[in-house]
Amino acid sequence: MTGDMSLDAFLFGIISAISLPLGAITLLMWRPNDKWTSGLMAFGGGALLAALTIDLVGSALEAGHFYPLAAGCILGGLFYMGLNAIINSQGGFLRKAATTLSFLRKKKLEEYKELSDKLSHIPLFHHLPPEQINSIVPNIVERVFPSGTTILRQGEPGDSMYIIVSGTVDIINVRDNMKKLATLHDEDVLGEMALVTGAPRSATAVCTSDVKAWMILKENFDQLISSSVTLQDSLRQLVESRILDLKETRQISEESANQWAESLVNNLKNRSIHFTDKDVNDAAKEHGGAPLAIWLGILLDGIPESLVIGSSIIHSSISFSLLAGLFLSNYPEALSSSAGMKHQGYSFNRIFWMWMSLCIITGLGAYVGNIFFIGAPPTLFAVIEGLAAGAMLTMIAETMLPEAFEKGGSITGIATLMGFLAAIFFKTLE
């Protein structure tokens, strides 16, 4: 190329990453649907798998450096996982659909665990098997009421019930000179009998402090009840026993409650958790859009490739399959991430220059890597190749292929295979 090895490394780094801004530019002319995005993502993942197998792992094995390579792979994977977790916790998960879905799923399961702990101490729900009640948990909504708010009014239809998470609520009989019947606290249930029996509210409920509660709608509760004769019989027994004050009938041991809650959470983990645009937007607002974390997350994905470009050019010319694998994997990643950031309100200019800066940094990383590794022993090269391979393989497994399958399903397999073969084809051109 130029005759200057370090400058060549810089140019090859630019070439491998120029598909990043190209992915952003594509959005101006074409907005791919989920099938296209999935196919491209899987294709890029397959190409990168072939490149790291042939050019990183293969070359190190040929030189007899398995142990340095293996050590590098493990360190690279752990390094990626650790930094990725830190960046995602600051909002970097918003850079990709897969990382966003993973973050939201984890957050939902944490919310479900908190709710399960509450339900486990409530006799009404403790009578229900966890595998049955897990169908209603995702439909439970968190509500916050300021002090003085009337949650339920006597005589109104019973269309919902509440589980008090924190705060206090007075139960008042309006028709009996505003007589206070009870004060409910954490883990008490509110409005359950009207929900079960279909009768109007028998009392009014007023917040005496700020209250956080979980709301269950009658339509979801009825759907749960109609699905099981056993549940219908259980509830009928509760009604016939006139369980009007759950607090007095709470005869559940702590051990029994914990076992029930754990069983419920395990059942929920096996269920599909669906997210709306509101969930994503709320997560973005919670982290202020997290532009720096998103940028750092994308940079983390590109660090290994820039180092390996710079180091690999020292002993031989750049591999076409490696260059093609990096280019082909960067394009769909940028396309998918750009679409997500645009949906979150990012301007095109901001997205474009985010990718362009990473393209330039990749070139500079290859340049610095080339200078740094000149004269380095072969075992160090094997470790560096292992670090890059481990980090990239972890990234493919954590983000690219899960995102492809999430959006495209069965197309993922054949698209990954075609990308794998495409990178190998470029190897034949050397």
pLDDT for 130-179, tens place per residue? 666 666 677 788 899 999 999 999 988 888 889 888 999 999 999 888 98
The pLDDT value recorded for residue 242 is 39
The encoded tokens of residue 380 equal 């160090």
For residue 170, the cross-strand partners are 183, 206
| Mean of pLDDT values over 77-90 | 83
Q: How far is it, in rounded angstroms, from Cα 180 to Cα 343?
A: 51
Token pair listed for 265:
């959470």
Lookup result for tokens 């029996």: 197
pLDDT band for position 340 (cuts 50, 70, 90): confident
- Overall average pLDDT of the 51-56 stretch: 84
Highest mean pLDDT of the ranges 119-128, 161-170, 195-204, 246-255: 161-170
Quick check: 17 pLDDT over 50?
Answer: yes
User: Angle 5-17/320-343 helices, nearest 10 degrees?
Assistant: 40
What are 80's two structure tokens?
A: 């990626």
Domain positions in the chain = 5-105+278-428, 122-251
DSSP track, 145-204: E-TT-EEE-TTS---EEEEEEES-EEEEEGGGTTEEEEEE-TT-EESHHHHHH-PPPSSE
Q: How far apart are CA 421 and CA 277, in angstroms?
A: 36
Domain 122-251, what fold? Jelly Rolls (2.60.120)
d(CA 215, CA 159): 10
pLDDT at 235 over 70: no
pLDDT of residue 157: 87
Looking up tokens 């000149």, which residue turns up?
374
Strands 141-145 and 211-217: antiparallel
